[in-house]
A and B are shown apart, each in its own frame.
Chain A
């Protein structure tokens, strides 16, 4: 077996190579028609934020205004169970060696994804960032509003997260492990992974950043840009993303044209 899957290889879903992730937790491109870099020099990487379940729990509870949140102990137990489950499977064990960000989301349903993202989740990211890093700023550069502009991408499995939220609060772990994938390749790759893996969208990525506002803060190098790859924007080949600017955090929109870039990454999410 090659150390890295090549983007041009063909690979049926039932013949997914084992392991699925490299020694740094990166999901290896496998049998993709869309563009992803087969190898990475790991120049744009996230560093693991501190996992203090109590602090993460408090931030998410406070900034999303969840009155009846699960307890911090329950959050920790459920998130650790996800990690242990992944560690126990040889196909996914390597994933846990990469950056992993536990989060939870409230029981909720929204008539419009974009409006909820803008008014509830991005506001919470802003407040959590200001709380944890008061000397720096979170800036939403997209001033034209998100209401009515976002749809869940078919095949991303993000609809499962949204559906789960309708019934109960959910606990998950966010992995920024689809590094150097084009957005179409991130979607395609998700479809080749076992069903437990979902492509990250808006609510989950925001929850990860609310709980760990310093996820994209690096002083010794550059973190990647994080696409909300599970969300289709109002215009084809365009997407929304988080990106560091120095020590600051930004939210913005840009065309991606289906290209892969060393700087671009998407996230996978696993729920309990």
Chain B
């Protein structure tokens, strides 16, 4: 689950409590920050997870990829452009880590692209600093064998979020456009657990899938395996722009909410121990792109500011005072709100260098009504 360790000890299961205790012993500073999140939220402070997209290199080309338009391969082959914008380096990541730490933020997700093809992955982990932040990596699992899992653990990665988009082998491979990828995911599940990594399975919910036997089987599998199944709604962004039929409706979302009662399955909007965050844009997550732009979620291609020009604290404040993003809403803004989806599609159409800069997508002049 995205917010894994911000709950009072008394509300945790014994297994969760043991994991937290282990973290306290190994990384007391990180554990203390995580334990403080509930109090931060009670004070009105926010503690978003930072998704870091240092590189968009990927060995897959998935049907629903939200990052495809950020990738060099897409810019070169489709947009026919070279992106000359300055990219982040390890010094930038160290500065981001410092600013995040100052604000009490505690969690980073390394994403992409496929993080495990990054040649400097270990250096990125070090630049974030596993003694200061809880580090998670996304992965498609292709390279995650026993040796790699043990290596991740050894360099300070705490958790792996592994993509599995169908419990039917052929469907997963087709969706991911990568024969053999299902088998690699299954290998990666065992490798991660054996290495003592926390593990989350991540799957994309397209319209109608919540009603299928396949999805029910996947929910059951994850629950029996003792692994959480994180469900992300298909959004009309990135490669999914060409697949509006993937976008879910409220019935899909509500079916999923009912499944949460029986299975270890959840979305980013699922209440954690009674704490309702709703849409987690800014409040629970931000994305830092390879050009140091900050977007409020992985699927919204509007920047809240560039960290070379604006401190993280102000970028977060911009997000929280924006009527679309703050302070609280129960639905997925980019996945469910037709008006925002329309605005987003109009403003990103034809844009070859995403995200749309602050002031052109989001701005302080935004209103909900025309």
Contacts and interface: CB of A to CB of B under 8 A. Distances in A.
B251 A263 contact: no
A40 B329 CA distance: 15
B323 A225 contact: no
A261 B328 contact: yes
Interface in A134-171: 137, 141-143
A238 B253 CA distance: 28
A261 B250 contact: no
Contacts of B329: 44, 261-263
Chain A CB count within 10 A is highest, among B41, B274, B278, B326, for B274
Given A43-B337, A262-B329, A248 B368 contact: no
Nearest to B336: A222
Contacts of A218: 250
A247 B323 CA distance: 26
B211 to A, nearest CB: 15
Contacts of A48: none
A41 B369 contact: yes
B251 A219 contact: yes
A245 B270 CA distance: 9
A83 B41 CA distance: 42
Contacts of A143: 274
A255 interface: yes
Contacts of A97: none
B276 interface: yes
B28 interface: no
Nearest to B251: A219
Interface residues of B, number: 26
Given A141-B271, A219-B250, A220-B250, A246 B257 contact: yes
B258 interface: yes
Contact of A255 (B44, B258, B271, B330): B44
A261 B327 contact: yes
A252 interface: yes
A144 B252 CA distance: 33
Contacts of A87: none
Given A41-B368, A43-B337, A246-B253, A254 B276 contact: yes
B274 A252 contact: yes
Interface of A: 37, 39-41, 43-44, 137, 141-143, 218-222, 225, 235, 237-238, 243-248, 250, 252, 254-257, 259, 261-264
9 closest pairs, A vs B, by CB? A246-B257, A141-B274, A246-B254, A39-B369, A263-B329, A257-B44, A259-B327, A41-B369, A222-B331
Interface of B: 41-44, 250-251, 253-254, 257-258, 261, 271, 274, 276, 278, 323, 326-331, 337, 339, 368-369
Given A238-B42, A254-B328, 16 more contacts: A39-B369, A141-B271, A219-B250, A235-B42, A245-B276, A245-B330, A252-B276, A255-B44, A257-B44, A259-B326, A261-B326, A261-B327, A262-B323, A263-B278, A263-B330, A264-B328
